[in-house]
Structure 1
Amino acid sequence: MLLSTVILPVDRGHDGGRAKWQRAKEPGFHAAYTYDHLSWWTFRDGPWFGALPTLTAVATVTARLRLGTVVTSPNFRHPVTLAKELISLDDITGGRVTLGIGAGGNGCDATALGQEPWTPKERADRFAEFVPLLDRMLTEDAVTESGSFYSADEARSILGCVQRPRLLFAVAATGPRGLKLAARHGQAWVTTGDPKLHETGTPEQSVEALRGQVERLCKACADADREVAGLDKILLTGFTPDRGRPPESVDAFVDFAGRHQEHGFTEIVIHWPIAGSDFAANQAVFDKIATEALTQLG
């Protein structure tokens, strides 16, 4: 079991943001991620910095910690320009980038570029083009592709990624089309649980729903003639009925993580506490989880 954190890009570097990322490199965390949005719900009226510039800055003060997004989406990204930025980031980090990538959702920055809100089908259609084209952009020197939504004309990516054949994809998906993309293109799969259970479900119902998601992922991998064991399974906490936040003790968190480990999850991601927000938590307990939980999980 791996333990990682997600640090929201809400702090100026000199106001504490730099210190958080530097502390995240301490023993315990496998990776530190950030959200790739232009703004996000309850933080819309405050500071919110760009994900890739933030990760680039963090790369200069860390050496071994993996860095990444949870998650990047087509809301305001294009595979050609995104690939160039990711190749640059992977080079700067020395090959430590994991790209969390998903179809996106409504709200936040979904219409920031002036587009009409996409339906779930439109999102799935775009994502089905976005991921394969981005994959090609990160593995081929030059790409020409004419798609319904995303195209490339002699787009160059010479040298490519430090990681070979490219940096890691962690595909966020729960539906059949997204799980198919995870099975074909992902080195990891990401979920936040069943959104229908977020407000009114129970922790037991959530665990059962997650078990069902893993089973559907297994089927998608079998259909793709791929061993599901080769795909890391990441749970981004904070969106299940128990909210998945750092509990009152290390033992309580170990119990939470262990229940999900039993169903195949290989990485748990917890939010760095932010006072006065949905992600408020006891910093001292969070710190103890970061340094002690893995010993008990094994």
Structure 2
Amino acid sequence: MSLRLSTVILPVRRWHEGGRQRWQRAEELGFRTAYTYDHLSWRTFRDGPWFGAVPTLTAAAAATDHIRLGTLVTSPNFRHPVTLAKDLITLDDVSNGRITLGIGAGGNGFDATSLLHEGEEPWTPRERADHFGEFLPLLDRLLSEDVVSYEGKFYSANEVRNIPGCVQRPRLPFAVAATGPRGLKLAAAHGQAWVTTGDPKLFETGTPEESLAALRGQIERLGTACEETGRDVAELDKVLLTGFTPDRDPAPLDSFDAFVDFAGNHAALGFDEIVIHWPLPGTDFAADEKVFERIATEALAQLDG
């Protein structure tokens, strides 16, 4: 089994008060990738500490040696392709080619309203998709070409230079979060990986069996999008970000055996990478850290056995 295990580290700790150690421990435990969320603030964490993704990942790159690092996910909600590209090229250089960009259309929430003028309405889902449809192809060019000029409906680039480009060639990989037809086509055209959290409509009242069926359908639609793009769906890694499916009683991190069962069921669907949240006491991501570390170090061997 080629399943990989990764983690999300929420950027809530000061770097010199446990933040650095968390990223270094992720490397010691053998996680494939350590991601962080790219938000200005997020959900119940809005009134507490929350640090920026790019500076955090830059510090993590300097504090580690071989673990991959990335966002899960960046969106157009408060980013511009030109400035983001420069940050990513720098981050890819500092990390010596260990960066994956998780990227999606974004959603409602604090990031969607922080930059609005008074009385201005946040983007509708269609408007978010419209922005993303222009954002992602432009970012692809900015990370792949030395000089880019572009004039679009939402974004522009006027003879933008990005030299020497990414360490990873032709650019750092994109992990595109998408479930709708437009997003899946973008994933097929530009992604090296595809990311899903499952079907959000099932989170509160759905069953694990219904969730597996929904995920199977998403993978099938990704395959159709790849066929239409002239691409083999096997070229894209399939990444499941956990914590948002109706898997409870037990939840995947409740015990080692619960996780092994969960991971096996999703690997059978075709997922290549499963991402688990680093435990954070007193939050929705609370879990036993000893169980978490055992999962990190032993679960894949159990599945292979």
Same fold by TM-score, threshold 0.5 exceeded? yes
Shift of 1:296: 1.4
Q: Which amino acid aligns with 1:34?
A: T
1:35 and 2:34 are equivalent in the alignment: no
Structure 1 Cα separation of the partners of residues 288 and 54 of structure 2: 28
Equivalent residue for 1:127, pick from 115, 129, 132: 132
Q: Match for 2:195 among 190, 195, 200?
A: 190
CA offset at residue 44 of structure 1? 0.1
In structure 2, list runs of 5 or more residues that go unmatched. Answer: none
Tell me the CA shift for residue 161 of structure 1: 0.2
Superposed CA offset, 1:258-289 (max 9, x none):
10111110000000000000101111100100
Q: Name the CA distance, whole Å, in 2 between partners of 1:194 and 1:188.
A: 18
CA RMSD of aligned residues (A): 1.1
- In the other structure, the counterpart of 1:63 is 65
| Pairwise CA distance, 1:246 | 4.0
Give the Cα–Cα distance (whole angstroms) in 1 for the partners of residues 110 and 22 of structure 2: 24
Other-structure match for 1:206: 211
The equivalent of 1:82 in structure 2 is: 84
2:240 corresponds to which of 235, 245, 251: 235
Deviation digits for residues 218-240 of structure 1 (CA, Å, limit 9, x no counterpart): 00011111111110000000000
Identity between Structure 1 and Structure 2 (%): 73
| 1:24 match | 26
What do the CA deviations read for 1:142-198 (whole angstroms, capped 9, x no partner)?
A: 111000001100011011000000000000000000000000000000000000001
Q: Do 1:246 and 1:286's aligned partners in 2 also have CA atoms closer than 8 Å?
A: no
Q: Show structure 1 runs of 5+ residues with no match.
A: none
How many equivalent residue pairs? Answer: 298
Match of 1:108 among 110, 113, 118: 110
CA–CA distance in 2 between the matches of 1:25 and 1:191? 24
Q: Match of 2:268?
A: 262
The 3-state SS of whatever aligns with 2:240 is strand
Give 1:40's aligned amino acid: W
Q: Provide the residue aligned with 1:284 in structure 2.
A: 290
Query: SS at the partner of 1:3?
Result: strand
Other-structure match for 1:45: 47
For residue 104 of structure 1, give the secondary structure of its aligned residue in structure 2: coil
Contact 1:246 1:281 in 2 (8 A): no
What stretches of structure 1 move > 2 A for 4+ residues in a row? 243-249
SS at match of 1:235: strand
TM-score (norm 1): 0.98
Amino acid in structure 2 at the alignment position of 1:186? G
Matched, 1:295 2:297: no
Q: Which amino acid aligns with 1:230?
A: E
TM-score computed with the length of structure 2 as normaliser: 0.96
**Residues 251 and 258 in structure 2, CA contact (< 8 A), matched pair in contact too:** no
CA distance in 1, matches of 2:292, 2:20: 18
Residue in 1 aligned with 2:227? 222
The Cα of 1:245 is off from its aligned counterpart by 5.3
